[in-house]
Amino acid sequence: MSAAPAPGTFFSLTEALMSGFANALVIVAVAAIVIARQFRARAINTDRRWWLIPVILGVVALREPGILDAHHRTESAVLLVVELLVGLATGAGWAWTTRIWTEPDGVVWTKSTKASIAVWVVGIALRIGVFGIGHALGLHQDSAALMLGLATTLLVRGGILVWRAQPLGAVNRPAPAYGDDMRSVRRERA
């Protein structure tokens, strides 16, 4: 005879699965958008809040209760630190392999390079390795750690790019939009 599950177990399990699934979707969506955007030339502007998305991801990740394994806190904390170091290295590598140039109008532009792809591949391989080590140790690993690592990657990359772009030109001036330099033309009435 099997014992009945404790009250609320099914719902807490379902909630945990949905939370993990939602986190995974957020991680995949943010990574896909960020990666796709970085391989097109983009104007960099320090007036924009380049740090906002990484901070939001970090806050969402830190609010998750399963960021550390309740039964193996020390081991999971060590793996979390390793995940953050991988995120830091990936963000720095990505920023330093990104091409930066100034157009004649003074706007600073960026575009990721083929070396940036290599940095991402190595970063993903290292994250898979960290996950594999955690799995081999029998640790419960939540998607919040991966989200925190992604937030670290984006924050470090953005900070380094803004730092690299500052001596190149007028990065505090917004990039011109279509039609900014057009003069107002009034039609004469006949």
Compute CA distances 81 → 43, 55, 67, 140, 180, whole Å.
33, 17, 12, 15, 46
DSSP character for 169? S
Is 11 among the domain residues? no
Question: What's the predicted TM-score (pTM) here?
Answer: 0.72
Q: What is the pLDDT of residue 46?
A: 60
Q: Which residues constitute the domain of residue 130?
A: 19-168
Q: What is the pLDDT of residue 180?
A: 45
Is 97 among the domain residues? yes
Helix or strand run (H / E) with residue 138: none
User: Bridge-partner residues for 99, per DSSP?
Assistant: 111
Is 173 among the domain residues? no
Residue 76, burial from CB neighbour count under 10 angstroms (0-12, 13-18, 19+): buried
Mean pLDDT by 10 residues, the chain (190 residues): 46 49 73 76 76 90 84 90 96 94 87 91 92 88 86 94 81 46 46
As for how many domains the chain has, the answer is: 1
Cα–Cα distance for residue pair 10/14, rounded to 1 Å: 6
Phi, psi of 101 (to 5 degrees): -150, 165
183 SS3 class = coil
Is 3 among the domain residues? no
